[in-house]
Chain A
Amino acid sequence: MRYSTKTQILSGSAIVAAGLLFSGAAMAQNVSIAFSASELGATAYNPVAASTLNTATSLIYDRLVEQDADQSYHPHLATSWEETADGMAWTFSLLEGVTFHDDTPFNAAAVQSWIASYAGTENEYLVEAIGSVDVIDDLTVRFNMDRPEPNLLYNLASAFMGIPSPTAFAELGDNFGVTAAVGTGPYELQSFEIGLETVLVRNEDYTWGSDLSENTGPGHIETFTFREIPDQSTAFLELRTGGIDLLLGVPTDFLQILEAEANIQIIQMPGVGISYMPINVTAPPFDNILVRQATGMAIDQEGIVAAIYNGVGAPAHNFLISSLPEANVDPALNVTYNPARARELLEEAGWVMGNDGVRVMGDERLTVRLYTANTTELTRLTQVVQAQLGEIGMEAIITVFDSSTIRDEYRNNTHQLAVRSYDWNNSDILDWFFSGNRLGYPNVSMWQDEEGQRLNDIAMTESSTSAERIANFTAYHEYVLSQHLFVPIYQPTQNIAFNSDAITVPDPVRGSRFRGQSFMDIQIVE
């Protein structure tokens, strides 16, 4: 009898404990996410002033407009907008009933104050064309432009144009985004441990999601825990073992292994960046355009995609991602693999093949410095590039730097070639990397050219309409390509993996990146 009683008590306790555990799990409704490697290191959730933001930012702040994967723009906090025929004014109607997390109202005055807050910040360029903002009424604002800006909607859809509470922004000053971050988004910042994790908790009042999400609010998940896991292998193992539910930015190396896992599903989205090799045009022998052209023809983009990336992603033949209309340049200008022609060009430039397979000109050997940053993917790519340059008789000596030091090397103009990458899905990236105003970094090619700057200025500031902007940037892009300032190499895909036993993720993913709109539709598997 005693035994039976004890057994009953133990069994009862076990059932209660199990019940508590399960109810706890159901109540907790937490989804853990690991940031991608490129998102690590954000120091503040301040879209106005920060130079690095991560995906969690898009859940704290809403934007006036959203951009879909097909580059179309959708209303969000702005329900509609109108541009004058001359492009010198934009009028936005704002959504009614929206409040910030601190219960202050979102209205025209908040938009006016928010645009003004960009003055003097790293992100000021986003609102550079806006001369002033008029409050027409509580829910209508007009942007008076200093010049037409066909790129305005793209800028407004950027993560750097999340709208913070003007009250909290003024009160917290430099601490905004560090100690607290207040937006109108579907999730509120609960805790932020720099370099470790960010916990977001559901905004129960949220009902104003954009049409890029099926669920317009509140979110299905109570809390999202975003973790910074610096080692990609560790992040990958966390997903395999259920330590995290979603991994943003899966390295291509891991795709095959993850595909073999029954409970892991992978979403591949078009990439938003390029891996490329800038050429320093001020450093001999690359001050000779023939040598630069030959260098471009030595790189086998298709071979690299097949050998290093297992066929995932696409070869890059010019500087822009292929989904941008400005990437459709004259095919003759695209950089393609042609080692035979590369050898001819080097001969033309006076570099003849030496006895040891390295070209020479007099006593000088064709030995060049090839820099890269200390990430596994870039280092591996650089080694392949080194081997391919060797095929045409160019000996490249690789030096690997940390990300801070390599920028110093660029600024000090010690480099000749470098392998690097960028993430940006707008043609204004051409201005960023090739404007003569930014020599060293980001203009790693050290290119300063009168005609180039003229085309840049036209594209950046003199386009009145979207079509005109495309034409102007295409012309600028073509001129940049004709000068052989870089070698495009690879267009990666965005790879997201999730544990399908734990969560469901919207399919297809809307938006150009996996961010706030997709998180709204994530649900726990029952």
Chain B
Amino acid sequence: MILRYTFLRLLMLIPVSFSISVVIFMIVYLLPGDPIDNLLRVGSSPEDRAELVAQYGLDRNLVIQYFVWIGNMFQGEFGQAIVLRRPVADLVAQNLPYSLTLGGLAFLFSSTVGMTLGTISAVVRHPVLDRFMRGFILLGSTVPGFWLALLLILFFSVNLGWFPVSGAGGWTSLVLPVLTIGFGGVALVARVTRVALLDAQREDFVTLLHAKGLSSGTILFRHLMPHALLPVVTILALRIGWILGGAVTVEFVFGRPGLGSLLIRALGQRDYPVVQACLLMLALAVMLGTLIGDVAQASMDPRIREKKS
């Protein structure tokens, strides 16, 4: 049953991927600026420009350009960066591991710490703790990553000297970026976990479980948690893509390489092939995250797979 559901979800990804690929392909043509202008020598003639445009295939019909591009993408051919003058695949391969490491660790941090704090906040009904948690969640949801990054650098790097200010050398350089990206996620996951657990506690079956004499711990971990995990899994799955793409400002402040900083750099130089490849990777990450979330939800709740399949 779950295999059939997964298969159907994968099928649905085909039209979604097609639509996204069209949007990504078109979006760079809607941007102001032209990479050819960056390559042309100042004072070049219109003929020089036409020659360069033809060299990069930008003189062909847009539809043809799209199908050539998508065909190449299917074969893993990302093409040559126009301004950075390297194979785009090399640039992505150089930057992706940094993004995956940072994103993966931030994801792990925000999910474990967020769920733990959310659970504590739902179970320990102390007004002071409750207020603290509400404050923390509000702070985590609203503090801009850029500002938090600078605060963390000032405290942990400048005052305490524990971690390097920037760079991508060794595990110590990962701590502050992971905390920066993870902080917002912790607050979000904690909030969702807390609400889900509080809702679950109000269900009738919980009263029954208490009446049967089960301990609070057993009720929480064996019965309430699986129940409350559904929305948490959804949120976490959606954050997979967000964490990869949302690291842009953090990569900038910490001077780290990654897909986000590559994307920003390529956008600034209007390097279409690089922008397209980065956007495609980020879109794939979001789609993959959503798929994982859906499948995980379906595997936990038979009602979903029955309704949706």
A residues contacting B by CB (< 8 A) are 41, 43-44, 121-122, 124, 174, 178, 193-196, 227-231, 233-235, 237-238, 240-241, 243, 402-405, 407-409, 411, 432, 435, 437-438, 441-442
Measured between C-beta atoms, what is the minimum distance from A369 to chain B in Å?
A: 15
State the interface size on chain B (CB cutoff 8 A): 37
Q: How far is the CB of A35 from chain B (nearest CB, A)?
A: 11
The answer to whether B283 has its CB under 8 Å from any CB of chain A is: no
| Between-chain CB contacts (< 8 Å), 14 pairs | A44-B85, A124-B41, A178-B85, A193-B257, A194-B94, A195-B257, A237-B153, A243-B164, A243-B165, A402-B268, A404-B268, A404-B269, A404-B270, A407-B33
In the bound complex, residues from chain B placing their C-beta under 8 Å from that of A122 are 41
* Given A404-B269, A405-B32: A237 and B158 interface contact (C-beta under 8 Å): yes
**Bound Cα distance from A380 to B162, whole angstroms:** 34
B157 touches A237 (CB 8 A): yes
Query: A193-B257, A402-B268, A404-B268 are known contacts. Are A237 and B83 too (CB-CB below 8 A)?
Result: no
Q: Which 8 A-B pairs have the closest CB atoms?
A: A229-B255, A404-B33, A237-B165, A238-B165, A405-B32, A234-B166, A196-B257, A405-B33
Residues of A within 8 A of B41 (CB): 121-122, 124
Kindly provide the distance from the CB of B69 to the nearest chain A CB, expressed in whole angstroms. Answer: 21
Type the 1/0 row for B69-92, where 1 means its CB is closer than 8 Å to any CB of A.
000000000000001111000010
Complex Cα–Cα for A237 and B151 (A): 12
Partner of B168, one of A44, A194, A196: A196
Q: Does B265 contact A (CB under 8 A)?
A: yes
Cβ of B206 under 8 Å from chain A: no
* Bound complex: CA A43 to CA B262 (Å): 13
A235–B41 alpha-carbon span in the complex (Å): 32
CB distance from A260 to the nearest CB of B (A): 14
* Contact between chains at A441 and B164 (CB < 8 Å): no
A435 / chain B contacts, CB cutoff of 8 Å: 43
Whether, in the assembled complex, B107 has its beta carbon less than 8 Å from a beta carbon of chain A, the answer is no
A194 CB contacts on chain B under 8 angstroms: 84, 86, 91, 94
B113 touches A (CB below 8 Å): no
Given known pairs A193-B257, A234-B165, the reply for A407 and B158 (CB within 8 Å) is no
Contacts of A196 in B (CB 8 A): 168, 257
Interface SS of B by simple majority: loop
By a CB distance below 8 angstroms, the chain B residues around A44 are 85
Q: Is the CB of B94 within 8 A of A234?
A: no
Assembled-state Cα–Cα distance A241/B154 (Å) = 10
Kindly state the separation between the CA atoms of A411 and B38 in the bound complex, as whole angstroms: 12
| Chain B neighbourhood of A227, CB < 8 A | 167, 255
- Give the shortest distance, in Å, between A479 (CB) and chain B (any CB): 21
Interface centre among B33, B86, B165, B269, by most chain A C-beta atoms within 10 angstroms, is B165
Cβ of A241: which chain B residues have Cβ within 8 Å of it?
A: 157-158, 161, 164-165
Min CB distance, A169 to chain B, in Å?
15
**Alpha-carbon separation in the docked complex, A407 to B34 (Å):** 10
CB distance from B111 to the nearest CB of A (A): 28
- Chain B residue at smallest Cβ distance from A231: B253
Residues of B close to A409: CB separation below 8 A: 32
Q: A195 and B165: CB pair below 8 A?
A: no
Closest B residue to A46 by CB, please name it: B85
Nearest-neighbour CB distance to chain A for B38, whole angstroms, equals 7
Q: B26-37: contact bitstring with A at CB < 8 Å (1 yes, 0 no)?
A: 000000111001
What chain A residues lie within 8 Å of B37 (beta carbons)? 404, 407-408, 411
Q: B166–A229 contact, CB under 8 A?
A: yes
What is the minimal beta-carbon distance from A108 to any residue of chain B, in angstroms?
Answer: 29
Q: How far is the CA of A122 from the CA of B48 in the complex (A)?
A: 13
Q: A43-B84, A237-B157 are in contact. List 11 more A-B contacts (CB 8 A).
A: A122-B41, A124-B41, A193-B94, A193-B257, A194-B86, A240-B158, A241-B158, A402-B268, A404-B37, A405-B32, A438-B42
- Residues of chain A within 8 A (CB-CB) of B257 are 193, 195-196
